[in-house]
Structure 1
């Protein structure tokens, strides 16, 4: 009995020693991992985030934002890095939201107006760009599925040089408003009567001429479509499959053949016409 008790005691002491050794190894591993994490310090900077959701047209106030630490390597483009940038001391008026934003989202310059500006169309135009309105209906306006922020191709149908044709005249035009609505978070289809597009002056000149001389139709461009459309022109013959046959070459009238001989008369050489032997 004493022998069995001794064996059990010896076995228990051995197992306890193994447990202590294993625990010591694990603690050393945890300590090493913590030291490595402390050494891998991530550089941070301050970024302004929202403390509450915001919707299109809402005014921004100091109660809606706060500063947090953000990895400096991954600061979003256009983010504010101080409250003075959001609320300049010498500025009059509030910033207004141009897009819907959620709580804890970084505040970006592209999603708010400048201080004192409203959320109208003029605040959304890029440098050197102009706004131009086009008349549409349920057919030419893609059945009301166009929303602010979408891109469209513009087709012109009209007569020219004695033939009625349809031609692609503008591609990837950015829509900034539909009727009086410029909220890009609008999800409901709208049967619009006018759309407002953003374009440089030279493209607007082409649109104005096209609208005055024919009918315009819109084609919606996919969100992820970055392809550039080439020249597109379709006439009635193209739809009907009529191919113009090449004109037969005109017959060339051949001049009558004239045969001559040279004859010497005294000291003078004369050319005398004679009948051709192959006629």
Structure 2
């Protein structure tokens, strides 16, 4: 009997030790999995709140707080000018991060088309109560200047709001025809009274273009437009090359050199007959 009890006790101790080792192994696995999960969480990008459109918005469409929703996006992927709050108390620390003030009931308008779940950007919406248009685009102390576009120009059908052009002036200086670059990299804000940069591609030639310029540039461009002809050259997207000063006169454009236009010296001759031969002799030309 004592032998049986001893055997049972030994077997129990062995099973208990095995159970302890199995439990320790399982706990160790759990701890390893936990540590790996915590490490993965540390490596995951940080998410922050961002305000997006709840549904599609067309250019010029008004929207209010009910048309927006807050979602999350990676912090390092947030576009400039995005909002993190739909509304916040006016003049509070959070007011600059909000689309609307809590007390604001006037709608804002989309200055470009938005797709559902697309982030709302401060530069692409109007202030509360203002409709989309040129006035909503102009920066402080800037002016909208409209120029007539030559419909025969090959680029007039390719101009769109947001396009960049070089402006050339052609006219007469000191009785010589001259063409010169007077305004490089001029950004257009409207084409034919439309500021919608998302308008469908069309081939209709533009008749007027509007640019954002300083008051001083308004005076200069007005004088240039009244004293000669303005021609636009479309600048490629992303082209930031500084072309420098460009001025070409008629002779340079046509390759005419001073020697080519210098008057040829007049020569005078007389013919005399000697027998059957006629001899031509050069003499001074008579003064007129």
- Gaps of at least 5 residues in structure 1 are 1-23, 246-279
Aligned equivalent of 1:37: 40
Check if 1:46 corresponds to 2:14. Answer: no
SS at 1:207 equivalent = helix
Matches of 2:167 and 2:52 in 1, distance apart?
Answer: 39
- Displacement of 1:157: 0.7
1:131 maps to which of 129, 134, 144? 144
Matches of 2:123 and 2:221 in 1, distance apart?
Answer: 27
Moved over 6 A (4+): 24-29
Aligned equivalent of 2:277: none
Q: Using a 3 Å threshold, how does the CA distance of structure 1 residues 39 and 148 change in structure 2: closer, same or farther?
A: closer
Aligned equivalent of 1:168: 181
State the Cα RMSD in Å: 2.4
Check if 1:143 corresponds to 2:143. Answer: no
- Displacement of 1:75: 2.8
Matches of 2:39 and 2:72 in 1, distance apart?
Answer: 21
Check if 1:239 corresponds to 2:253. Answer: yes
- Gaps of at least 5 residues in structure 2 are 1-25, 88-97, 260-288
1:87 maps to which of 92, 100, 109? 100
Check if 1:201 corresponds to 2:215. Answer: yes
Matches within 5 A, 1:199-278: 199-244=213-258
Q: Using a 3 Å threshold, how does the CA distance of structure 1 residues 30 and 158 change in structure 2: closer, same or farther?
A: same
- Displacement of 1:92: 4.5
Aligned equivalent of 2:121: 108
Moved more, 207-216 or 101-110: 101-110
- Displacement of 1:141: 6.8
Q: How many residues align?
A: 224
Matches of 1:204 and 1:143 in 2, distance apart?
Answer: 21
Is the 8 Å Cα contact of residues 178 and 250 (structure 2) preserved in structure 1? yes
Is the 8 Å Cα contact of residues 62 and 131 (structure 2) preserved in structure 1? no
Is the 8 Å Cα contact of residues 141 and 218 (structure 1) preserved in structure 2? no
Matches of 1:154 and 1:129 in 2, distance apart?
Answer: 18
Matches of 2:71 and 2:152 in 1, distance apart?
Answer: 50
SS at 1:177 equivalent = strand
After TM superposition, the score normalised by the length of structure 1 is: 0.73
Matches of 1:195 and 1:97 in 2, distance apart?
Answer: 21
Is the 8 Å Cα contact of residues 150 and 231 (structure 2) preserved in structure 1? no
Aligned equivalent of 2:165: 152
- Displacement of 1:49: 1.2
After TM superposition, the score normalised by the length of structure 2 is: 0.71
